[in-house]
Structure 1
Amino acid sequence: MKKQFVIAMLLAAGFWTAGCEKTKETETATTTTEEIAPVTTVATNDPATNPNVASAEPVNPNAPKPVMTFKETEHDFGTIKQDKKVQHTFMFTNTGKSPLVIENASATCGCTVPEWPKEPIAPGATGKITVEFDPAGKVGQQSKQITITANTDPQVNQLIIKTNIEGMVPQAGASGPVRTN
């Protein structure tokens, strides 16, 4: 028993020593590399080195922001069938004093797909967001929210579509009534 304990201790000491030697080699290599590598500083607002910067001019946080003004923010499709996709176009105007850029438009579920302009909307110009709704597999009252994120004030705008979906009711056939569970 003592013999096994002594052997285990010797093995542990050997592994520990081998681990220390590797760490020293790694530290030496790292130090050598750090001494050789030149130190460079990159200006974060330099358009030549940062592609996300449009110009070297500072951004004015107090500059006027674009404003999305919608003709309507809610649309009711009324009663529709499950097998027919419906579409509605929401019109808006940039009533602000700078170009409006829509970053994203997303819906609360995959059955609602918004399409939006990818190019900037100039002050005073109009744009449209088209929303397609697929009622497949849904029945009854539905309300879906579309969230628009843009460089506007406020940054997030909401649109809503509503509908009542009639379900497909099975009809009795030649073999008798249809059972619904």
Structure 2
Amino acid sequence: MLCLGIGLLAAGSSAMAQTQQPVASTQTAAAKSPLDGKVKFKEENIDFGTAKLNKPVTVEFTFTNTGKEPLIIQNAQPSCGCTTPDWTKEPVMPGKKGSIKATYNAATLGQVNKTVFVNFKGIPQTVELHLRGKVAQ
């Protein structure tokens, strides 16, 4: 019995060690993104405060090309039709800045939480940019 108990304890310790290692490697993998070393946003979340009803509000998300190749925005897609994005169309050279502007139409009273999904050419990860605020009379 005693040997069996020690065997189970050893097996449990071994299983625990195996469980801990993938968690650590998953955390390391999560910290590394396809965007790392290629693009850095100044902010990915902008609170525009309070806008007046039916007075569109525009926020600007700026980024820097931290890579070694020109950076091209392939597409910027809003989460709904009430937000219109506009972005730097020409390639952004290494070390230079580009931007994505998002205009919210402010046609509805209340809290606002909108997203613009940005895709860069040659980078498989989509960037989510968030604009938040409130629309009042």
* TM-score, normalised by the number of residues in structure 2: 0.68
Q: Over the residues paired in the alignment, what is the CA RMSD in angstroms?
A: 1.7
Spell out, residue by residue over 1:16-59, the C-alpha distance to the aligned partner (whole angstroms, 9 max, x if none): xxxxxxxxxxxxxxxxxxxxxxxxxxxxxxxxxxxxxxxxxxxx
Residue 61 of structure 2 is aligned with which of 79, 84, 90?
90
Give the structure 2 partner of residue 70 of structure 1: 41
Give the structure 2 partner of residue 157 of structure 1: 127
Give the structure 1 partner of residue 104 of structure 2: 133
Could you list the runs of 5+ residues in structure 2 that have no partner in the other structure? 1-35
Residue 144 of structure 1 is aligned with which of 90, 114, 118?
114
Residue 93 of structure 2 is aligned with which of 104, 118, 122?
122
Give the structure 1 partner of residue 16 of structure 2: none
| Cα distance in structure 1, aligned partners of 2:38 and 2:125 | 9
Give the SS at the match of 2:68: coil
| Cα distance in structure 2, aligned partners of 1:144 and 1:104 | 17
Give the SS at the match of 1:96: coil
The structure whose Rg is larger is: 1
| Cα distance in structure 2, aligned partners of 1:122 and 1:145 | 26
Q: How does 1:96-107 map to 2 (within 5 A)?
A: 96-107=67-78
Give the structure 2 partner of residue 81 of structure 1: 52
The verdict on how the C-alpha distance between 1:106 and 1:143 changes in structure 2, with shifts beyond 3 A counting, is: same
| Cα distance in structure 2, aligned partners of 1:158 and 1:151 | 15
Could you list the runs of 5+ residues in structure 1 that have no partner in the other structure? 1-64, 169-181
Residue 110 of structure 2 aligns with an amino acid whose one-letter code is G
User: Kindly, what percent of the aligned residue pairs are identical?
Assistant: 41
Residue 96 of structure 2 aligns with an amino acid whose one-letter code is A
> What number of residue pairs does the alignment pair up?
102
